[in-house]
């Protein structure tokens, strides 16, 4: 509930200086009544409010506001009667303490008043001076509020400055993983912003027996660099204390130290009087120390030490990131070196294999030719027994020659010249692979049926490579077909996507091809489950794929729809 006293007029003084025109009074009705009447009589607009009805903090934002009470309210009952207002007020309002006529104002009474801004007034006796006392009270409160505001603004400026330093260090560590660059920027920033005499970053050595200066900054670049200077921990009480407690080490004035101590001598050598040392640690690991010194004696408030701790945390993150990056780089370099060694070993092995295989090919070709001539001669003389023996030897020689040619294709160098193709009759190119397949088929009791027209047009082929690809397909088909099975071979020219292709289809009656393994058919030395008992090297389909790549063709694989077995189809541009 509130009541407003009537305005009888505004005094000339109030109009002239504009200090006080309106005031809110909150408090005890008895004490407030005399104050309200007196101020209203002086021409002020007065609002009276019962303190029990004040529940919103916003009420105290409208200044000027005065709390009016009597001295006895500040006795033992104050804590019980007044806590509500003090709980919701941002800060206690200025207070007029009204002393009844004849009451004695004692030091004990003044000490009982738990407020910073208050004025003691005698009821009735000080009526003419009440407006002046009130103006003085509000002026003091205004000055105190301004001081608080100035202090608050200064705290904001300080916090902004500190946050800017932290952000700059974080940005430097983000943009560069070069630890020396990051710490050089950090020490220079700290030294400049705090007008320090020196800034050093010490790293704790791995055995934790000494510290070494990793980076330093000196005001005006004066003096020689301390980088690389090592301090054994047993010789330094400050460093021992930092390592043990991981709390800041502070010297506000070196004159307070023992002149014979190492700390005093170190500060004197730096030309400094005050110093702070902050441990740099992360997740239980102490990495080093951030040290800063100043020429003059200096106090170190708790909030500033907290900030220096936050700087040390940023430095710890930068150090950890740089070390992790360094370890990663070392591991990557080691992996790259190992990979290079393996590539060189693989290349040397491939070259050696190709060289050995190539050197074996020529004498083996001569041996095969000699066997053919001898076999033909014995057949003409009528010695069939010896001719059959020579047929077996020739088949073995040709098989070995085929393995050598397969190996040459598989280990063909990546930088080998492109295959030279010439117009070739498909029937002529398939003649030898079909002959070899029929020899193998007789031994395994398999029939080979070929549909290859001699009238097919010539196709650009590398005959030797084409023979190896078809020989491998025919050989696989015969080896995997059961006794009594049939291998069918068909060669034709067909259109595909508007272009003519040579299509060679080989169909067997074997166990079929695992559908899940189609993407791996060209893998060297790969033997699928169930093929262990069938002789072979696992290079056959690898050779086929190599040949087709050289001819810009493709290989299709499918299991037969009308029975067991698989169908392999070669497509070569015609």
- Give the pLDDT of residue 142: 76
The rounded distance, in Å, linking the Cα atoms of 75 and 94 is 18
Q: Where are the beta strands (DSSP E) in 58-103?
A: 65-69, 95-99
Domain end point (choices 300, 333, 351)? 300
Asked if 190 and 127 sit in the same domain, the reply is no
Asked if residue 361 belongs to a domain, the reply is: no
Within its chain, how far is the Cα of 3 from the centroid? 67
Residue-wise pLDDT tens digits, 41-84: 888 888 888 877 777 777 776 667 888 888 877 654 333 345 45
Asked if residue 225 belongs to a domain, the reply is: yes
**Angle 43-46-48 from CA coordinates, rounded to 5°:** 155
Asked if 133 and 211 sit in the same domain, the reply is no
CA Rg value for the chain: 51
Asked if 495 and 547 sit in the same domain, the reply is yes
Confidence category of residue 414, pLDDT binned at 50, 70, 90: low
Asked if 184 and 136 sit in the same domain, the reply is no
DSSP state at residue 19: S
Asked if 435 and 563 sit in the same domain, the reply is yes
Residue with tokens 């041996």, as numbered in its chain: 367
In a 3-state reduction of DSSP, which class is residue 2?
strand
The rounded distance, in Å, linking the Cα atoms of 449 and 471 is 15
Question: 179 Cβ partners below 8 Å, 6+ apart?
Answer: 318, 319, 322, 323
Asked if 120 and 208 sit in the same domain, the reply is no
DSSP per position, 116-152: SSEEEEETTTTTTTHHHHHHHHHHHHHHHHHHHHHHH
Asked if 452 and 538 sit in the same domain, the reply is yes
Longest CA span, the chain: 162
Residue-wise pLDDT tens digits, 489-523: 999 999 988 899 999 999 999 888 777 677 677 66
Per the document, the length of the chain is 574
Inter-residue contact 415 to 347 (CB < 8 Å): no
Helix 384-410 / helix 540-550 crossing angle, nearest 10 deg = 60
Question: 243 Cβ partners below 8 Å, 6+ apart?
Answer: 204, 208, 233, 279, 286
Average pLDDT of span 443-472: 91
Asked if residue 562 belongs to a domain, the reply is: yes
- Give the pLDDT of residue 84: 55
DSSP state at residue 60: G
Asked if residue 262 belongs to a domain, the reply is: yes
Domain end point (choices 243, 272, 300)? 300
Domain end point (choices 252, 284, 300)? 300
Question: 256 Cβ partners below 8 Å, 6+ apart?
Answer: none
398: cis peptide before it, omega within 30°?
no
- pTM of the predicted model as reported, rounded to 2 decimal places: 0.47
> Of the ranges 93-102, 233-242, 404-413, which is most confident?
93-102
Residue with tokens 């006080």, as numbered in its chain: 20
Containing H/E element for 212? strand 210-218
> Of the ranges 81-90, 331-340, 488-497, 536-545, which is most confident?
488-497
Domain range for 260 is: 176-300
And the tokens for 476? 């696989």
More confident residue, 237 or 502: 502
Asked if residue 26 belongs to a domain, the reply is: yes
Confidence category of residue 461, pLDDT binned at 50, 70, 90: very high
Asked if 31 and 95 sit in the same domain, the reply is yes
Query: Any long-range contacts for 402-407 (C-beta under 8 Å, 24+ apart)?
Result: 402/436, 402/468, 402/471, 403/537, 403/539, 404/357, 404/360, 404/361, 404/364, 405/361, 405/464, 405/468, 406/468, 406/472, 406/537, 406/539, 406/540, 406/542, 406/543, 407/353, 407/354, 407/357, 407/539
Percent of the chain with pLDDT over 70: 77
Q: What is the CATH number of the domain that holds 134?
A: 3.40.50.2300
Cross-strand bridge partners of residue 251:
275
Average pLDDT of span 443-447: 89
The number of beta carbons lying within 10 Å of the beta carbon of residue 502 is 25
More confident residue, 355 or 225: 225
List % helix, strand, coil for the chain (3-state, nearest 5).
50, 20, 30
Asked if residue 431 belongs to a domain, the reply is: yes
Asked if 146 and 185 sit in the same domain, the reply is no
In a 3-state reduction of DSSP, which class is residue 50?
strand
Asked if 211 and 113 sit in the same domain, the reply is no
Containing H/E element for 243? helix 237-245
- Give the pLDDT of residue 530: 55
Q: First vs last Cα of the chain: how many Å apart?
A: 107
Asked if residue 317 belongs to a domain, the reply is: no
Asked if 185 and 135 sit in the same domain, the reply is no
Q: Determine how β-strand 198-204 pairs with β-strand 285-294.
A: antiparallel
- Smallest CA-to-CA distance from 108 within 84, 74, 137, 82 is with 74
Residue-wise pLDDT tens digits, 264-313: 888 888 889 999 999 998 888 888 899 999 999 999 999 999 999 999 99
And the tokens for 493? 């020219």
Q: Is the pLDDT of residue 8 over 60?
A: no
Residue with tokens 């102490």, as numbered in its chain: 286
The rounded distance, in Å, linking the Cα atoms of 6 and 482 is 124
Q: What is the CATH number of the domain that holds 556?
A: 3.30.565.10
Asked if 105 and 24 sit in the same domain, the reply is yes
Q: Total domain count for the chain? A: 3
Q: What is the CATH number of the domain that holds 249?
A: 3.30.450.40
């Amino acid at each position: 509930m509130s009541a407003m006293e009537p305005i009888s007029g505004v005094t000339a003084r109030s109009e002239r200086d504009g200090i006080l025109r309106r005031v809110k009074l909150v408090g005890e009705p008895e004490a407030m009544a005399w104050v309200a009447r007196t101020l209203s009589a002086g021409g002020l607009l007065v609002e009276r409010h019962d303190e029990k009805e004040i529940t919103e903090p916003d009420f105290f934002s409208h200044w000027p506001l005065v709390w009016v009470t009597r001295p006895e309210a500040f006795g033992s009952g104050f804590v019980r009667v007044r806590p509500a207002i003090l709980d919701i007020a941002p800060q206690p309002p200025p207070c007029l303490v009204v002393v009844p006529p004849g009451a004695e104002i004692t030091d004990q009474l003044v000490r009982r008043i738990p407020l910073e801004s208050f004025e003691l007034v005698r009821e009735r006796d000080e009526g003419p001076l009440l407006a002046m006392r009130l103006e003085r009270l509000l002026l003091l409160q205004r000055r105190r509020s301004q001081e608080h505001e100035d202090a608050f603004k200064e705290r904001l400026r300080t916090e902004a400055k500190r946050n800017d330093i932290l952000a700059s260090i974080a940005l430097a560590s983000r943009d560069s993983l070069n630890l020396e660059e990051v710490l050089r920027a950090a020490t220079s920033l700290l030294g400049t912003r705090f007008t320090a005499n020196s800034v050093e970053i010490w790293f704790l050595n791995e055995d934790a027996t000494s510290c070494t200066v990793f980076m330093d900054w000196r005001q005006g670049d004066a003096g020689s660099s301390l980088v690389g200077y090592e301090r054994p921990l047993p010789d330094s009480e400050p460093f021992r204390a930092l390592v043990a407690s991981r709390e800041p080490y502070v010297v506000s004035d070196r004159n307070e130290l023992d002149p014979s101590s190492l700390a005093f001598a170190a500060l004197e050598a730096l030309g400094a009087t005050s110093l702070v040392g902050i441990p740099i640690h992360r997740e239980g690991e102490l990495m080093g120390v951030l040290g800063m010194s100043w020429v003059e004696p200096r106090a170190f408030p708790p909030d500033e030490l907290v900030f220096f701790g936050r700087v040390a945390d940023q430095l710890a993150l930068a150090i950890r990131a740089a070390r992790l990056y360094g370890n990663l780089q070392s591991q990557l370099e080691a992996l790259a070196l190992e990979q290079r060694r393996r590539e060189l070993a693989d290349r040397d092995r491939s070259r050696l294999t190709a060289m050995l295989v190539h050197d074996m090919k020529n004498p083996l070709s001569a041996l095969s030719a000699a066997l053919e001539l001898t076999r033909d001669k014995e057949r003409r003389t009528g010695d069939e027994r010896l001719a059959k023996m020579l047929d077996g030897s020739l088949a073995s020689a040709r098989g070995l020659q085929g393995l050598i040619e397969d190996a040459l294709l598989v280990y063909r160098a990546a930088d080998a010249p492109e295959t030279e193709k010439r117009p070739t009759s498909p029937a002529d190119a398939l003649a030898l692979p079909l002959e070899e397949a029929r020899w193998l088929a007789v031994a395994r009791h398999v029939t080979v049926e070929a549909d290859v027209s001699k009238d097919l047009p010539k196709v650009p082929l590398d005959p030797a490579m084409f023979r190896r690809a078809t020989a491998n397909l025919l050989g696989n088909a015969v080896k995997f077909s059961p006794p009594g099975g049939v291998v069918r071979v068909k060669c034709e020219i067909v259109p595909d996507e508007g272009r003519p292709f040579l299509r060679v289809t080989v169909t067997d009656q074997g166990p079929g091809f695992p559908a899940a393994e189609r993407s791996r058919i060209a893998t060297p030395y790969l033997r699928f489950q169930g093929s262990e008992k069938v002789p072979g090297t696992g290079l056959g389909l690898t050779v086929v794929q190599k040949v087709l790549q050289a001819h810009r063709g493709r290989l299709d694989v499918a299991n037969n729809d009308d029975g067991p077995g698989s169908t392999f189809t070669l497509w070569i541009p015609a």
